[in-house]
């Protein structure tokens, strides 16, 4: 039970950590000042949520590990984020498409997590959903501006969506820990959410003059710790300070 | 004396380590198979030289540190490489220009280091110079092929040389450790080498249909440990395994 809850918290929080790290790489590199600050703010929101989750995870385990240990001292196979969030910042179309695909999921997911019987998780969900509804507004607005923009921006958005779409399904995959906790009313049963996600995504994409790709084979593995080639480089950057100065503090 | 010799060995070897790491990033990404293998081989040559230098440095210090400690466990400020070798693999023109600028220096430097009164250094120099003369042949051939190639390749080569040229002078900077060891006949007095370098580089560039840039302000700092923004990312990748698994062995 304790181990399942710990794993489940990681599944939620690691998506936020790795996407936050990816967005953080952009700090100072956005296409204009407003967007730069927006992406960095979203990164900070996600990392703030990560702290709440990891603090709770540390409390669940009761073995002295801290939020920093959980964030920085795990090996690659122990991270439970989906492959989507580790995909690189190829161009702004990729950044926005990745963000939109995650935000829509994140919003629908937190809406349900608010009703979790685990009061810590439902409290974090209620607090986070306000931020995430803003993230979704930001990314879906940009989907429309660029998808329904110039020929060039439309072409690049469609290319990004085509490349990233095979990664959406893993968001809804249910792990063994998830299965056990759904029975207890703690975890979200994402099976039902997938239909909502597809319906909603289709509307957003249509409005953005983009075609939802038809994909037969989906990419997965991250949730069970089998990551893409990008993950090692992300962790090398992310973990460097704690690895170089173990147990450092501000 | 011991400390000076240690620092001087690092000044030589760290250039090879960081350039070797930069070239290693290209493994599998070269423009064609032959060039890919050539760049990877040059990387391996440089890392082989690094091992000889660091083994000797560890022996000089006699305090139990190993070649791996020296390679992987230092902090950024303790690396003594020049800023040139940490510049990124922007495109193949940058890779070749950086390599040519370093190889020409490296060749002239090792030719002198062979006469060092320190027998270990002179032995490493004599062994390495054969490899380095091949490196110089490879990079200067590509300078000519691309500089004297198409309009596009010429433009890109000139852009690379213009960007990198401000970094050449640091190669000839003499540190305090260097100064002390020149007096003992151990270190190379690079003051005399700079004229040879400029004369030779001018000939190569002319033959490659490229213009030697006129630069008033040169970039330096790496040799005294003050690196560019790229260095932290290089070290995060380079050191990750030893940082994550301290004292690991194959």
Inter-chain contact A233–B237, Cβ cutoff 8 Å?
yes
Inter-chain contact B240–A235, Cβ cutoff 8 Å?
yes
Tell me the shortest Cα–Cα distance from A26 to chain B, in angstroms: 15
- The DSSP H or E segment spanning A112 is helix A92-113
Inter-chain contact B239–A244, Cβ cutoff 8 Å?
yes
Inter-chain contact B236–A237, Cβ cutoff 8 Å?
yes
Residue with tokens 């990392």: A47
Residue with tokens 């440990």: B225
**How far, in Å, CA of B164 to CA of B139, rounded?**
15
Inter-chain contact B236–A232, Cβ cutoff 8 Å?
no
> How many Å separate Cα A40 from the centre of its chain?
15
Nearest-by-CA chain B residue for A74? B244
Q: Give all strands (DSSP E) within A16-130, no chain letters.
A: none
Q: From chain B, which residues contact A within 8 Å (Cβ)?
A: 75, 232-233, 235-237, 239-240, 243-244
What's the number of CA atoms in the CB half-sphere (13 Å) around residue B77? 0
First CA to last CA distance, chain B: 34
Q: Which of B173, B147, B182 is nearest to B4 (CA)?
A: B182
Inter-chain contact B239–A243, Cβ cutoff 8 Å?
yes
Q: Residues with Cβ < 8 Å from B109, sequence gap 6 or more?
A: B12, B171, B188, B190, B193
Task: List CB contacts (< 8 A) between A244 and chain B.
Answer: 75, 239, 243
Task: List CB contacts (< 8 A) between B239 and chain A.
Answer: 240, 243-244
pLDDT value of residue A31: 83
Give which of B73, B76, B240 to mutate to test A binding, by max A Cβ within 10 Å. Answer: B240
Tell me the shortest Cα–Cα distance from A37 to chain B, in angstroms: 21
**Structure tokens that stand for B124 in this block:** 């490493």
Tell me the shortest Cα–Cα distance from B16 to chain A, in angstroms: 22
- The DSSP H or E segment spanning A46 is helix A33-61
ipTM > 0.95?
A: no
Q: Which of B123, B85, B131, B80 is nearest to B107 (CA)?
A: B131
Q: Looking at B75-216, list the stretches that DSSP marks H as alpha helix, in order from N- to C-terminal side.
A: 83-86, 92-113, 119-147, 151-164, 176-183, 191-207
Q: Residues with Cβ < 8 Å from B105, sequence gap 6 or more?
A: B168, B171, B172, B193, B197
Tens digit of each residue's pLDDT, chain B (250 residues): 899 999 999 999 999 999 999 999 999 888 889 999 999 999 999 999 999 999 999 999 999 999 999 999 999 999 999 999 999 999 999 999 999 999 999 999 999 999 999 999 999 999 999 999 999 999 999 999 999 999 999 999 999 999 999 999 999 999 999 999 999 999 999 999 999 999 999 999 999 999 999 999 999 999 999 999 999 999 999 999 999 888 787 7
Inter-chain contact B75–A244, Cβ cutoff 8 Å?
yes
Inter-chain contact A240–B236, Cβ cutoff 8 Å?
yes
Q: Residues with Cβ < 8 Å from B106, sequence gap 6 or more?
A: B15, B132, B135, B136
| Residue B82 region by backbone torsions, left for phi larger than 0, else alpha for psi between -120 and 50, else beta | beta
φ, ψ of residue B201 to 5 degrees: the values are -60, -40
Ranges of residues in chain A whose predicted pLDDT is under 70: none
Tell me the shortest Cα–Cα distance from A247 to chain B, in angstroms: 13
Helix (H, G, I), strand (E, B) or coil at A136: helix
Q: Which of B123, B141, B126, B152 is nearest to B56 (CA)?
A: B123
Task: List CB contacts (< 8 A) between B240 and chain A.
Answer: 232, 235-236, 239-240, 243
Task: List CB contacts (< 8 A) between B236 and chain A.
Answer: 236-237, 240
What structural domains and CATH numbers belong to chain A? 2-244 (1.20.1260.10)
Task: List CB contacts (< 8 A) between B237 and chain A.
Answer: 233, 236
pLDDT value of residue A18: 98
Tell me the shortest Cα–Cα distance from A181 to chain B, in angstroms: 32
């Amino acid at each position: 039970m304790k181990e399942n809850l710990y794993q489940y918290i990681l599944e939620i929080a690691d998506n936020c950590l790795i996407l936050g790290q990816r967005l953080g790489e952009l700090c100072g590199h956005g296409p204009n000042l407003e967007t730069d600050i927006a992406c960095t703010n979203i990164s900070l929101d996600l990392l703030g949520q990560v702290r709440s989750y990891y603090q709770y995870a540390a409390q669940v385990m009761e073995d002295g590990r801290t939020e920093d240990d959980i964030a920085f001292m795990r090996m690659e196979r122990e991270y439970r984020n989906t492959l989507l969030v580790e995909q690189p910042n190829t161009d702004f179309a990729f950044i926005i498409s990745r963000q939109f695909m995650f935000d829509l999921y994140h919003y629908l997911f937190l809406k349900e997590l608010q009703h979790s019987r685990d009061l810590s998780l439902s409290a974090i969900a209620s607090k986070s959903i306000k931020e995430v509804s803003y993230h979704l507004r930001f990314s879906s607005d940009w989907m429309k501006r660029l998808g329904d923009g110039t020929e060039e921006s439309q072409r690049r958005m469609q290319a990004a969506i085509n490349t990233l779409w095979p990664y959406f399904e893993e968001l809804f995959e249910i792990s063994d820990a998830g299965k056990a906790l759904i029975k207890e009313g703690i975890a979200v049963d994402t099976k039902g959410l997938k239909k909502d996600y597809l319906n909603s995504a289709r509307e957003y994409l249509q409005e953005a003059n983009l075609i939802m790709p038809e994909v037969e084979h989906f990419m997965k593995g991250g949730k069970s710790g089998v990551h893409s080639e990008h993950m090692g480089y992300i962790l090398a950057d992310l973990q460097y300070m704690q690895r170089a100065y173990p147990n450092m503090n501000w």
